[in-house]
Structure 1
Amino acid sequence: MTIKLYGIKNCDTVKKARKWLEQHAIDYQFIDHRIDGLDPLELQDWLARLGWEQLVNKRGTSYRALSDEDKATLGPDTAAALLTATPAMIKRPLLVHDDRLQLGFNAADYARFFNQ
């Protein structure tokens, strides 16, 4: 199965993840949410497996720009539409390999993920 890394190319954390993968000679496909968009079925899978609370990046500027009403109504029923409309709000990077997900970047976590 192809290793996929989802994120936004100008995100510093995504850059660190990409650099780590390249330094460890791990081939991957990079999918930029802003350029390539989101697959609705993949998004539903991530939401089901990770939960909207983990998938939504509440530290980012996109989340902070939401109105108080939008923040208050954010939940399992509204997260998919919001993340589809504003993919920059997805916590990143998201690494997908062999039906496993790794959210965020930490070198030690990536080493464990790839058994290195």
Structure 2
Amino acid sequence: MFTLYVIDTCDTCRKARKALEANGVPFKTHDLRKDGLSASLLEHLLERAPLLEVVNKRSKTWRDLPQEDKDSLDANSARQLLLQHPTLLKRPLLDTGSGALKVGYRDGDYDKISG
């Protein structure tokens, strides 16, 4: 079963969820804000997508970080920031259970995925 990592208030996450439902794809959701982000889950996600690809530098959370944190971003500090602020993860994240993690969503991205 697929896992869709979301934040419930995110419009793009809602679109991704609807696209999976429309294609009859069985999936479960994991709300990063409500369900949390553990170190082991973060590592699981990072095994499937590059670290810099999953940090959302367009988010309000990123903009609100101290400039010092942004300037000194490296693999270790990024992991710590993601654990402290799960909303820094780009979303939605679609984990198909095999191979790469699909980061983000644009209309049509899930059209070839079937249940």
What TM-score results when the alignment is normalised by the length of structure 1? 0.89
What's the Cα RMSD here? 1.7
Is contact 1:52–1:75 with CA below 8 Å preserved after alignment?
A: no
Describe how 1:81-92 pairs up with structure 2 within 5 A.
Answer: 81-92=80-91
**Between structures 1 and 2, the one with greater helix share:** 1
Alignment of 1:1-116 (within 5 A): 2-100=1-99, 101-112=101-112, 114=113
RCO higher in structure (CA 8 A, sep ≥6): 2
Whichever residue aligns with residue 24 of structure 2, its letter is: A
Identity among equivalent positions (%) equals 38
Q: Distance in 2 between matches of 1:106 and 1:44?
A: 25
Q: Where has structure 1 moved over 4 Å in runs of 4 or more?
A: none
What's the TM-score, normalizing by structure 2? 0.89
Which residues of structure 2 form unaligned runs of 5+? none
- 2:23 and 2:104 map into 1 onto residues whose CA distance is 18
Give the gaps of 5 or more residues in structure 1: none
C-alpha displacement at 1:49, in angstroms?
Answer: 3.5
